[in-house]
Amino acid sequence: MRRPLVVGNWKMNGTCQSAVQLADAIVSGLPSECQVEVGVCPSYVFIPGVSERLAGSMVQLGGQNVADQDSGAFTGEVSAPMLKEFGCSLAIVGHSERRQVYGETDALIAARYQKAIEHGITPILCIGETLEEREAGDTFKVVDGQLQAVLGQAGIQSLGHAVIAYEPVWAIGTGRTATPEQAQEVHAHIRQQLVAQDPEVASNVRILYGGSVNADNASSLFSQEDIDGGLIGGASLKADSFLAIVQAAMENS
104 as an active site residue: the answer is no
What is the smallest separation between the CB atom of 33 and ligand PGA, expressed in angstroms? 27
Question: In the complex with ligand PGA, which residue's Cβ is closer, 146 or 212?
Answer: 212
DSSP 141-177: HHHHHHHHHHHHHH-GGGGGG-EEEE--GGGTTSS-P
Question: In the complex with ligand PGA, which residue's Cβ is closer, 99 or 191?
Answer: 99
139 scored as a contact of ligand PGA (CB under 6 A): no
What is the smallest separation between the CB atom of 195 and ligand PGA, expressed in angstroms? 26
229 scored as a contact of ligand PGA (CB under 6 A): no
Nearest residue relative to ligand PGA (C-beta): 233
Choosing from 19, 116, 213, 245, the residue that interacts with ligand PGA (CB under 6 A) is: 213
Active-site residue, selected from the candidate residues 37, 95, 104, 187? 95
167 as an active site residue: the answer is yes
62 scored as a contact of ligand PGA (CB under 6 A): no
Q: SS3 sequence, 48-117?
A: HHHHHHHCCCCCEEEECCCCCCCCCCCCCCCCHHHHHHCCEEEEEECCHHHHHHCCCCHHHHHHHHHHHH
Neighbours of 26 (CB within 10 A): 22
What SS3 state is found at 128?
coil
Choosing from 78, 232, 239, 243, the residue that interacts with ligand PGA (CB under 6 A) is: 232
**Alpha-carbon distance values, 29 to 22, 24, 131, 203, 238 (Å):** 10, 8, 36, 31, 12
x/- letters, 157..196, toward ligand PGA (CB under 6 A): ----------x----xx-----------------------
Question: In the complex with ligand PGA, which residue's Cβ is closer, 10 or 46?
Answer: 10
What is the smallest separation between the CB atom of 157 and ligand PGA, expressed in angstroms? 26
How far the first Cα of the chain sits from its last, in Å, is: 9
Task: Specify the stretch interacting with ligand PGA by CB under 6 A; choose among 50-58, 73-81, 198-206, 228-236.
Answer: 228-236
Can you tell me the distance from the alpha carbon of 243 to that of 239, in angstroms, rounded to the nearest whole number? 6
| Residues 212-221 as b or e (16 or more Cβ within 10 Å = b) | bbbbebbbbb
Active-site residue, selected from the candidate residues 37, 104, 167, 187? 167
Choosing from 64, 65, 79, 212, the residue that interacts with ligand PGA (CB under 6 A) is: 212
Widest Cα–Cα separation across the chain? 48
Q: Contact 90/63 with Cβ under 8 angstroms?
A: yes
9 scored as a contact of ligand PGA (CB under 6 A): yes
Task: Specify the stretch interacting with ligand PGA by CB under 6 A; choose among 32-40, 196-204, 232-240, 245-253.
Answer: 232-240
CA dihedral 92, 162, 238, 240 (to 10 degrees): 180
Residues involved in catalysis: 95, 167
What residues line the site for ligand PGA (CB under 6 A)?
9, 167, 172-173, 210-213, 231-235
